């Protein structure tokens, strides 16, 4: 089972590393005057193992349904990428931040954010990340990603963010 999981994560990382050739498709958006793709320049300037590497190349957040803290199938895929990256850089420690949307009381949202952060931390631990490398914190509704009062915005705020400690 563990070998299958590692193989699946490795295959996903390999596919993620592949990119299309803009010149072959005629897409010149994102290409500077020297003919170098700006995203390739940005990726090349990010130090492997850095917080920016993690955020750009792996993804630092997962999202939750309303009043839920269970890890969805989509979130599991994202956390598998995070776990693979963390196993590649064993000296890195992280803090998992739990967040909620603006609805509900402050106390309720702090508790929900903590349950979300713990769900993510537990899932990463189950994937082989040492628990001593993880800490959790809840911000509840205090640090929204989006401040509009609509479902599209609220869905962005129902999240857990894995941040690299430095």
Q: What is the pLDDT of residue 45?
A: 84
Q: What is the pLDDT of residue 42?
A: 52
Place of tokens 């050739």: 21
Q: What is the CATH number of domain 48-164?
A: 3.30.1330.60
Given pLDDT bands bounded at 50, 70 and 90, which one contains residue 166? confident
Q: What is the pLDDT of residue 136?
A: 98
Mind listing the pLDDT tens digit for each residue in 118-137? 999 999 999 999 999 999 99
The values of phi and psi at residue 135, to 5°, are: -130, 160
Given pLDDT bands bounded at 50, 70 and 90, which one contains residue 36? very low
The domains of the chain are located at: 48-164
Q: What is the pLDDT of residue 20?
A: 41
Closest CA to 96 of 165, 162, 29: 162
The region of weakest confidence among 43-57, 63-77, 99-113, 120-134 is: 43-57
Mind listing the pLDDT tens digit for each residue in 105-119? 999 999 999 999 999
- How big is the chain, counted in residues? 166
First vs last C-alpha separation in the chain: 33
Given pLDDT bands bounded at 50, 70 and 90, which one contains residue 33? very low
> Could you tell me what percent of the chain has a pLDDT over 90?
72
Tell me how far apart the alpha carbons of residues 37 and 41 are, in angstroms, rounded to a whole number. Answer: 7
């Amino acid at each position: 089972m563990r070998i299958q999981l590692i193989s699946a994560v490795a295959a996903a990382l390999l596919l993620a590393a592949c990119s299309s050739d803009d010149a072959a498709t005629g897409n010149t958006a994102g290409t500077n005057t020297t003919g170098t793709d700006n995203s390739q320049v940005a990726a090349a300037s990010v130090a492997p193992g850095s917080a920016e590497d993690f955020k750009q190349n792996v993804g630092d957040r997962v999202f939750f349904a309303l009043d839920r803290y269970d890890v969805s199938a989509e979130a599991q895929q994202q956390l598998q990428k995070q776990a693979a990256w963390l196993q590649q850089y064993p000296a890195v420690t992280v803090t998992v931040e739990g967040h909620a949307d603006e609805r509900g009381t402050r106390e309720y949202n702090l508790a929900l954010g903590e349950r979300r952060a713990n769900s993510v931390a537990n899932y990463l631990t189950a994937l082989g990340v040492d628990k001593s490398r993880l800490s959790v914190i809840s911000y509840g509704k205090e640090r929204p990603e989006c401040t509009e009062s609509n479902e599209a915005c609220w869905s962005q705020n129902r999240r857990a963010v894995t941040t690299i400690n430095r």
